[in-house]
């Protein structure tokens, strides 16, 4: 009797075990990612580290949002697929007046927004006015990039007026000549949204984006995925894939596991420790994104004792960049000495970097009046970024380096959105951040990140709150100057001053690896970190 | 019977009121201005004023609470700061995932834990008893998040048998009816989606089932031991009734009451408390949703979501208590 | 609501020894030593205390000093448990982590114990409306998922070990209050309490001199089990990034940091997790053993 009971239990347990293992085996069928075989569905699933903040391109500044919106929207002009030279997009051609203050664009005719309304000069004017004016009624937030790139909002902005001079012609009037104008206008935030949809959705436009791009928006499930489908009526090359899905999988290694399981087709933000495994896997291909970025530790000059230049220089000497890069970038990065990446013109290679020297750092701290160091905080981003895939771990290494010279730093972290907001408000002491170039112009690094114009609490992009009049004068001069050699020289001078003042510890210029299934073809990573994927196929 | 149920329902009214007060206070008693915390001390005073206005933070606490309750009763718990979606709607989107995971985990726990408990009680101090009670102790001691990671490491990384996260592979088509994917795939006869959904749910469900399984095993054992020692069971044995019949018909039926309590309690807790498991396996459920909302300081979600989770818990307990009256009529006498 | 805690091992015995003297404690201890599983628990807890006390002497390396070139070394004779992503010796970190665990155990359980005992004793002793209010309040708190409440409190107070301990302590109060109330209810019906009342003792004195000492057995059991639960929960908060902050060698945050590299360096998560399991298991075994030992009536039930 009892034996029979035990038998019964055993059978029951076995049945359950079989159910479990049976399902395990079946999941192999779901993974159709055999090399070279292609996929049954014409869909590209892109695994990424963070969710988008919003899908209204003009209201966002982060790459995770931008890599979605660039596929839904078009700009007047855009970058060539593998570099930052400007080419025609929604504008077919353009010219600048002799004094450099009036830009005229001829627009592409016959283009329709995804909601069926027409793209024309009027739509462009509405969009530009929305960017220019901080409190425009169609804004749900503000177009921060406009302020960063065009010297503030109206009436301070360098752009004074935009008007339709025909059904398919618009004209921008500038206060003064502005060298990076056309380069800036190709950036993803200056994308043309459907005015009808802006009206219709109002403050919900950020989750109902309507543009003219190669993909139409379908749905966005927060913290999960964004789904787009191809736009058959696209004016350019119609997408080869039917559906494009961006899945947020915050954990680097979990995302890599998904790729191995075949549930996603490509991923960025590869954990440096997984790079070797990715290279070894025959199902995968690894593509390196051309490097145009910088990862840095900004020292908030408005917080004591970081206001002291000697302290900032000492911190620069205390941090062992090479060791950090070896450990947390899989060697796929170069140590930085300037805010500019070396691939950009204007990079000052004559700068001699601060040498890693804890002894000298200590001496300098003592000289500055802090022989016993001090207490402070290091903020670390909670999500992997292309310029720093392992921010938390880098922060811990920095914490140990600082401890070695007597500086006791606590690591602080917030959810990514809050992190940026608090940083914009200058609540941090030292903060890890980085920047991927948007347009290939040095102005986009030095002016955007270190000019006093951008050290405004609440919308700062200059997280060191570094306010140097000297640097400001040089940068403004460079903006007005149309000759590239002269501009390059001005930027080099600015870098000398910045190096001396040390508002940052420039850490790295990383090469972000992307790992894709072999069947993903035609993928061309852009140096700006975001690209249209209409040319990609998965068959 | 009916009067007992009515009485029981009346009894939870003060609890519901208290729960609503606590969810409300959770945010409002925290030092600092919620508007400021939400905006991250943003510079423009205008935005602060606007947000305080929309959230009604200028009114005295009791007025705010009154408004909160008034709206909540009408099904309006406010909208998420981040997604601008009504909290109620978002909860509705997340609940099925959690419900599915919880039901699956509890099924595993009841089957295995119950079985282990019964067998242990039938043969106390046997090897099986010692082994399963030892395992039960491991079950309550093991960190779920660690178990989850180890499962991923074994079945995801090494054996490539199970997908490490999510509910369904992107691209697998499934027509949703109840939003419980396993049920939906069965209802629509979608075998491919069924296998896919099942392969996704196994690891998180196993991780989640450890604590309830261990508790069910222990409670079943002690409850069964008590019943098996009673006269009528001895009589049944003596009458020569088949062992299985005695154990399941007579003994287990009567030993089931405490087990039901554990199941009810665990069900309630898992619905909102499966944070770790959902986080590790990126399971898009209520726990992870609330955790993200807490970290992002999305206060309407924290307030409304936690309230709803607590109400669910209270309701489930009510249902369990009412079920008692069917299982054990003596309860009615109270 | 059904009066049942969510402690690690289900409900706790709230029944009372019928007669009380020093005898049962000594006898209980002897019984504990005879109880095999409890002995194992006692040994584990003993090792934990010993390790925490002598951590700097036992640990082969400094738990915080980084050695980036030697990161992610597999276990070897040099590093028995290997090294983590910053080249720190995992064994040394686990050894030093015992101190944090003890700290969590004492502070979190201390908070629950003090407030829980007070609430439970007052509520049970005075009874009536006060009791009703306190019990309803406890029902209310217990309607919230325990871990979610702890997460919410920690997040609102700000991440950190201290706040995590406070949060865990706070959400644990209702369980202790219930246990104590149950015992107090039965103790206060005892004749000697009536005797004390008649002889003119103040209520305060009766609670502290006569009632509470008789609640010691279930309290000790509950607290022992509670330490295990508190360590587990603190590790969970650490794992979510809300508890101890780097570079503290707390086990939960070690798991958090290790999960990124677990596919290439599984030892980084294996050992800290095993340490948590072992310690929590130790406290659970000891707690269960104590229950059997101090409350003979529950033995073999």
Q: What average pLDDT does chain C have?
A: 85
How confident is the model at residue C7, as a pLDDT?
40
pLDDT, tens digit, for every residue of C252-288?
999 998 988 888 899 999 999 999 999 999 999 999 8
Q: Which residue has the tokens 């990384």?
A: B157
Which residue range forms the structural domain that includes residue A374?
293-510
CA nearest B19: which of B258, B310, B323, B319? B310
Q: Do C246 and A399 touch (CB under 8 A)?
A: yes
Q: How far apart are CA A162 and CA A174, in angstroms?
A: 9
pLDDT, tens digit, for every residue of A118-162?
999 999 999 999 999 988 888 878 888 898 889 888 888 999 999
How confident is the model at residue C13, as a pLDDT?
39
Torsion sign, CA atoms C160, C165, C167, C168: positive
Phi, psi (deg, nearest 5) at residue A441 = -110, 135
Decide if pLDDT at A26 tops 90: no
How confident is the model at residue C295, as a pLDDT?
66
Q: How far apart are CA C236 and CA C252, in angstroms?
A: 6
**How is residue B94 written in tokens?**
């997340």
A44 and A101 share a domain?
Answer: no
If pLDDT is split at 50, 70 and 90, which confidence band does A459 have? confident
A285 and A297 share a domain?
Answer: no
Q: Find which of C154, C246, C254, C265 to mutate to test the A interface (most A CBs within 10 Å of its CB).
A: C246
Decide if pLDDT at B47 tops 70: no
Q: What average pLDDT does chain B have?
A: 84
If pLDDT is split at 50, 70 and 90, which confidence band does A34 have? very low
A301 and A281 share a domain?
Answer: no
Give me the residue from A256, A277, A396 closest to C247, CB to CB.
A396
Decide if pLDDT at A23 tops 60: no
Decide if pLDDT at C150 tops 70: yes
Decide if pLDDT at A333 tops 50: yes
How confident is the model at residue A292, as a pLDDT?
92
The set of chains that have 3 or more CB pairs under 8 A with A is B, C
Distance set, CA C109 to CA C38, C224, C229, C231, C234 (Å):
20, 9, 9, 10, 12
**Above pLDDT 70, what percent of chain A?**
93
Q: How far apart are CA A130 and CA A128, in angstroms?
A: 5
- Select the more confidently predicted residue: C20 or B202: B202
The set of chains that have 3 or more CB pairs under 8 A with C is A, B
Q: Does residue A539 lie in a domain region?
A: no
How confident is the model at residue A30, as a pLDDT?
38
Q: How far apart are CA B227 and CA B250, in angstroms?
A: 9
A158 and A191 share a domain?
Answer: yes
A184 and A251 share a domain?
Answer: no
If pLDDT is split at 50, 70 and 90, which confidence band does C292 have? confident
Q: How far apart are CA A522 and CA A502, in angstroms?
A: 42
Mean pLDDT is lowest, of B252-266, C35-49, C272-286, for B252-266
Taking one residue from B and the other from C, the number of pairs with CB-CB distance under 8 angstroms is 144
A161 and A276 share a domain?
Answer: no
- Asked whether B276 and B262 are in contact (CB, 8 A), the reply is no
Q: Does residue A432 lie in a domain region?
A: yes
Alpha helices (H) in A31-134, listed in sequence order: 63-72, 121-132
Q: Can you list the positions of beta strands (E) in A374-471?
A: 375-379, 408-412, 430-436
Around B48, how many Cα atoms within 13 Å sit in the side-chain half-sphere?
Answer: 11
How confident is the model at residue A450, as a pLDDT?
95
Q: Do A393 and C257 touch (CB under 8 A)?
A: yes
Q: In chain A, which residues have their Cβ closer than 8 Å to the Cβ of B119?
A: 5-6, 9
SS3 content of chain B, % helix, strand, coil (to 5): 75, 0, 20
How confident is the model at residue C50, as a pLDDT?
95
Mean pLDDT is lowest, of A231-235, C4-8, C73-77, for C4-8
Phi, psi (deg, nearest 5) at residue A191 = -100, 145
How confident is the model at residue A363, as a pLDDT?
95
A7 and A144 share a domain?
Answer: no
If pLDDT is split at 50, 70 and 90, which confidence band does C41 have? very high
- Asked whether A497 and A468 are in contact (CB, 8 A), the reply is yes
Q: How far is A5 from chain B (nearest CA, A)?
A: 7
How confident is the model at residue A251, as a pLDDT?
78
Q: Which residue has the tokens 């807490």?
A: B294
The set of chains that have 3 or more CB pairs under 8 A with B is A, C
Distance set, CA C103 to CA A446, B160, C100, C159, C248 (Å):
48, 40, 5, 17, 13
A269 and A326 share a domain?
Answer: no
pLDDT, tens digit, for every residue of B184-242?
999 898 888 999 999 999 999 999 999 999 999 999 998 888 888 777 777 877 777 77
Query: With left for phi above 0 and alpha for psi between -120 and 50, is residue B84 left, alpha or beta?
Result: left
- Asked whether A216 and A536 are in contact (CB, 8 A), the reply is no
Domain CATH number, residue A252: 3.40.190.10
Q: Does residue A535 lie in a domain region?
A: no
**Number of neighbours of residue C74 by Cβ within 10 angstroms:** 12
Q: What domain count does chain A have?
A: 3
If pLDDT is split at 50, 70 and 90, which confidence band does A494 have? very high
Q: Which residue has the tokens 């029981």?
A: B8
What is the pTM for the complete model shown?
A: 0.83
Q: Do A30 and B169 touch (CB under 8 A)?
A: yes
Q: How far apart are CA C31 and CA C16, in angstroms?
A: 17
pLDDT, tens digit, for every residue of A242-251?
999 999 887 7
Q: How many angstroms separate the first and last alpha carbons of chain B? A: 11
- Select the more confidently predicted residue: C1 or A193: A193
Q: How far apart are CA C174 and CA C6, in angstroms?
A: 10
Distance set, CA C90 to CA A422, C63, C76 (Å):
34, 8, 11
Q: Do B143 and C228 touch (CB under 8 A)?
A: no
Distance set, CA C94 to CA A273, A393, B239, B295, C100 (Å):
23, 19, 59, 28, 10
Q: Does residue A420 lie in a domain region?
A: yes
Q: In chain A, which residues have their Cβ closer than 8 Å to the Cβ of C66?
A: 396-397, 400
A162 and A100 share a domain?
Answer: yes
Domain CATH number, residue A77: 3.90.76.10
A149 and A238 share a domain?
Answer: no
Which residue ranges make up each domain of chain C?
26-55+83-298
Q: Do B83 and A5 touch (CB under 8 A)?
A: no
Mean pLDDT in residue range A35-58: 80
Decide if pLDDT at C15 tops 60: no
Decide if pLDDT at B41 tops 50: no
ipTM of the complex: 0.87
Q: How far apart are CA A188 and CA A439, in angstroms?
A: 9
A439 and A321 share a domain?
Answer: yes
Q: How far apart are CA A300 and CA A315, in angstroms?
A: 12
pLDDT, tens digit, for every residue of B53-67?
777 777 788 888 888
Q: Do A400 and C245 touch (CB under 8 A)?
A: no
- Asked whether C110 and C165 are in contact (CB, 8 A), the reply is no
- List domains and CATH numbers for chain B: 2-72 (no CATH), 95-327 (1.10.3720.10)
- Asked whether B212 and B266 are in contact (CB, 8 A), the reply is yes
State which residue of chain A sits closest to B202, comparing Cα positions.
A20
**How is residue A319 written in tokens?**
């941090």
CATH 1.25.40.10 for domain C26-55+83-298, yes or no, is no
Taking one residue from A and the other from C, the number of pairs with CB-CB distance under 8 angstroms is 65
Decide if pLDDT at B332 tops 70: no
**How is residue A127 written in tokens?**
């969009």
A106 and A124 share a domain?
Answer: yes
Mean pLDDT in residue range A206-231: 93
Give me the residue from A1, A28, A204 closest to B84, CB to CB.
A204
How confident is the model at residue B37, as a pLDDT?
60
In three-state secondary structure terms, A296 is strand
């Amino acid at each position: 009797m009892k034996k029979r009971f035990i038998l019964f239990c055993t059978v029951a347990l076995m049945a359950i075990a079989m159910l479990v293992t049976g399902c395990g085996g079946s999941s192999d069928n779901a993974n159709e990612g055999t090399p070279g075989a292609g996929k049954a569905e014409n869909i590209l699933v892109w695994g990424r580290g963070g969710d988008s903040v919003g899908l209204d391109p003009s209201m966002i500044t982060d790459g995770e949002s931008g890599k979605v919106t660039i596929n839904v929207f078009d700009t007047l002009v855009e970058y060539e697929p593998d570099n930052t030279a400007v080419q025609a997009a929604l504008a077919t051609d353009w010219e600048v007046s002799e004094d450099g203050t009036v830009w005229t664009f001829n627009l592409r005719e016959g283009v329709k927004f995804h909601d069926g309304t027409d793209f024309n000069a009027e739509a462009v004017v509405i969009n530009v006015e929305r960017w220019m004016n901080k409190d425009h009624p169609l804004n749900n937030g503000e177009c921060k990039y406009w302020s960063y790139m065009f010297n503030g909002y109206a009436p301070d902005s360098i752009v004074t007026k935009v008007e339709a001079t025909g059904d398919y012609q618009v004209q921008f009037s500038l206060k003064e000549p502005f060298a990076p104008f056309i380069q800036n206008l190709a950036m993803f935030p200056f994308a043309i949204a459907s005015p009808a949809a802006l009206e219709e959705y109002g403050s919900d436009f950020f989750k109902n984006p309507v543009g003219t791009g190669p993909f139409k928006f379908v749905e966005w499930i927060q913290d999960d995925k964004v789904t787009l489908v191809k736009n058959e009526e696209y004016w350019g090359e119609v997408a080869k894939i039917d559906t494009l899905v961006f899945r947020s999988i915050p954990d680097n290694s979990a995302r890599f596991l998904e790729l191995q399981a075949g549930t996603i087709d490509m991923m960025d933000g590869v954990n440096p420790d997984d790079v070797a495994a990715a290279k070894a896997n025959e199902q995968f291909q690894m593509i390196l994104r051309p490097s145009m970025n910088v990862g840095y530790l900004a020292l908030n000059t408005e917080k004591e004792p970081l206001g002291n230049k000697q302290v900032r220089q000492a911190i620069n000497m205390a941090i062992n960049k090479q060791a950090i890069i070896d450990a947390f970038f899989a060697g796929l990065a170069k140590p930085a000495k300037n805010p500019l990446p070396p691939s950009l013109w204007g990079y000052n290679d004559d700068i001699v970097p601060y040498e890693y020297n804890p002894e000298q750092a200590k001496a300098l701290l003592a000289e500055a009046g802090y022989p016993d160091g001090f207490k402070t905080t290091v903020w670390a981003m909670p999500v992997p970024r292309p310029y720093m895939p392992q921010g938390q771990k880098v922060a811990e290494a920095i914490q140990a380096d600082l401890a070695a010279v007597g500086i006791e730093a606590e690591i602080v972290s917030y959810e990514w959105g809050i992190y940026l907001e608090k940083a914009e408000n200058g609540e941090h002491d030292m903060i890890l951040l980085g920047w991927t170039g948007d347009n290939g112009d040095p102005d986009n690094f030095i002016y955007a990140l270190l000019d006093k114009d951008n050290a405004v609490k609440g919308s700062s992009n200059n997280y060191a709150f570094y306010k140097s009049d000297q640097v400001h004068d040089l940068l403004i001069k460079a903006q007005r100057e149309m000759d590239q050699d002269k501009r390059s020289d001005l930027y080099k001078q600015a870098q000398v001053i910045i190096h001396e003042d040390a508002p940052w510890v420039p850490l790295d210029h990383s090469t972000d690896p992307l790992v894709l299934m072999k069947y993903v073809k035609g993928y061309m990573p852009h140096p700006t970190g975001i690209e249209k994927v209409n040319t990609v196929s998965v068959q | 019977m009916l009067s007992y149920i009515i009485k029981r329902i009346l009894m939870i009214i003060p609890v519901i009121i208290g729960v609503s007060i606590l969810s409300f206070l959770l945010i409002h008693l925290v030092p600092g201005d919620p508007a400021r915390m939400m905006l991250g001390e943003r510079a423009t005073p205008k935005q602060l004023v606007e947000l305080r206005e929309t959230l009604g933070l200028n009114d005295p606490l009791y007025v705010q609470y009154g408004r909160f309750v008034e709206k909540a009763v009408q099904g309006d718990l406010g909208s998420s700061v981040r997604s601008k979606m009504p909290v109620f709607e978002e909860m509705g989107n997340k609940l099925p995932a959690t419900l599915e995971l919880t039901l699956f985990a509890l099924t595993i726990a009841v089957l295995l834990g119950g079985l282990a408990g019964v067998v242990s009680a039938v043969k106390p101090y046997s090897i099986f008893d010692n082994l399963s009670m030892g395992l039960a102790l491991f079950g309550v001691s093991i960190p779920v998040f660690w178990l989850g990671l180890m499962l991923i490491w074994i079945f995801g990384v090494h054996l490539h048998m199970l997908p490490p996260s999510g509910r369904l592979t992107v691209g697998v088509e499934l027509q949703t009816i109840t939003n419980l994917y396993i049920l939906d795939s069965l209802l629509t006869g979608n075998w491919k989606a069924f296998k896919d959904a099942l392969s996704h749910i196994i690891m998180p469900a196993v991780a989640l089932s450890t604590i309830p399984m261990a508790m069910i095993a222990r409670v079943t054992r002690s409850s069964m031991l008590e019943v098996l020692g009673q006269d009528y069971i001895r009589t049944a044995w003596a009458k020569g009734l088949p062992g299985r019949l005695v154990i399941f018909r007579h003994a287990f039926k009567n030993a089931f009451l405490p087990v039901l309590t554990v199941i009810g309690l665990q069900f309630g807790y898992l619905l909102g408390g499966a944070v770790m498991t959902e986080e590790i396996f990126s399971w898009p459920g209520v726990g992870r949703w609330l955790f993200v909302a807490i970290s992002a300081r999305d206060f309407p979600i924290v307030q409304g979501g936690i309230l709803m989770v607590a109400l669910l818990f209270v309701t489930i307990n009510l249902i369990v208590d009412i079920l008692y009256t069917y299982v054990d009529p003596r309860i009615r006498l109270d | 609501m059904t009066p049942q805690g969510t402690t690690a091992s289900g409900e706790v015995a709230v029944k009372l020894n019928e007669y009380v003297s020093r005898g049962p404690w000594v006898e209980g201890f002897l019984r504990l030593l005879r109880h095999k599983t409890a002995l194992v628990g006692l040994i584990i807890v003993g090792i934990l205390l010993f390790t925490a006390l002598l951590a700097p002497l036992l640990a082969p390396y400094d738990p915080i000093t980084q050695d980036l070139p030697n990161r992610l070394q597999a276990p070897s004779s040099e590093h028995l448990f290997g090294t983590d992503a910053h080249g720190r010796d995992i064994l040394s970190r686990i050894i030093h982590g015992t101190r944090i665990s003890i700290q969590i155990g004492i502070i979190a359980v201390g908070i629950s114990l003090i407030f829980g005992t007070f609430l439970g004793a007052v509520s049970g002793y005075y009874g009536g409306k006060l009791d009703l209010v306190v019990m309803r309040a406890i029902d209310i708190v217990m309607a919230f998922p325990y871990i979610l409440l702890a997460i919410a409190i920690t997040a609102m107070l700000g991440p950190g070990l201290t706040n995590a301990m406070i949060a865990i302590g706070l959400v644990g109060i209702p369980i202790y209050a219930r246990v104590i109330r149950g015992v107090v209810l039965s103790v206060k019906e005892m004749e000697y309490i009536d005797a004390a009342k008649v002889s003119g003792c103040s209520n305060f004195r009766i609670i502290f001199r006569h009632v509470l000492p008789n609640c010691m057995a279930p309290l000790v059991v509950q607290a022992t089990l509670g330490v295990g639960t508190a360590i587990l929960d603190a590790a969970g908060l650490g794992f979510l990034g809300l508890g101890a902050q780097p570079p503290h060698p707390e086990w939960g945050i070690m798991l958090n940091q290790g999960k990124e590299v677990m596919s290439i360096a599984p030892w980084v998560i294996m050992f800290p997790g095993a340490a948590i399991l072992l310690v929590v298991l130790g406290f659970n075994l000891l707690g269960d053993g104590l229950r059997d030992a101090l409350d003979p009536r529950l033995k073999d039930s």
